[in-house]
Amino acid sequence: MQVTIEVPEDIAHQFAGDPSGLSRAATEALAVEGVRSGKLSGGQARRMLGFQTRMQVDAFLKERGVYFPITAQNVENDADLSRTFREQWPSSQTLGRTELVNWW
């Protein structure tokens, strides 16, 4: 969908050095506010902004003071995913808990 807004040219230049950059500035502002308000998910913001990865969106939002809420369920899911990766791709370079404590 394409949205058109009217902005006085002198004000538009304050947001973006050239008029074509104003569209990107508006898209970024909409994505940031959408995530901040809970109206957009990180995935939706990623698509809007044309990012390839979740990490790109996370970094972009952090630069603007927007953080995704972390719940106990998020931490459990990440831990489960980490265990799955370790089981599927064991590495001699990966330190186990006991080795890490002894190393530290």
> What pLDDT sits at residue 25?
86
Letter string b/e over residues 2-24, b meaning 16 or more CB atoms within 10 A of that residue's CB: eeeeeeeeeebeeeeeeeeebee
Cα-flanking dihedrals φ and ψ of residue 27, to 5°?
-65, -45
The model's pTM is 0.63
Q: Tell me the C-alpha distance between 34 and 96, whole Å.
A: 40
- 39: helix, coil or strand? coil
Under the banding of pLDDT at 50, 70 and 90, the label for residue 104 is very low
Q: Does 94 score more than 60 pLDDT?
A: no
- Alpha carbon dihedral 6, 7, 9, 14, in 10-degree steps, equals -150
| Per-residue pLDDT tens digits for 1-52 | 888 888 888 887 777 666 667 888 889 999 999 999 999 999 999 999 999 9
The pLDDT tens digits for 46-83 are: 999 999 998 999 999 999 999 887 889 888 988 998 88
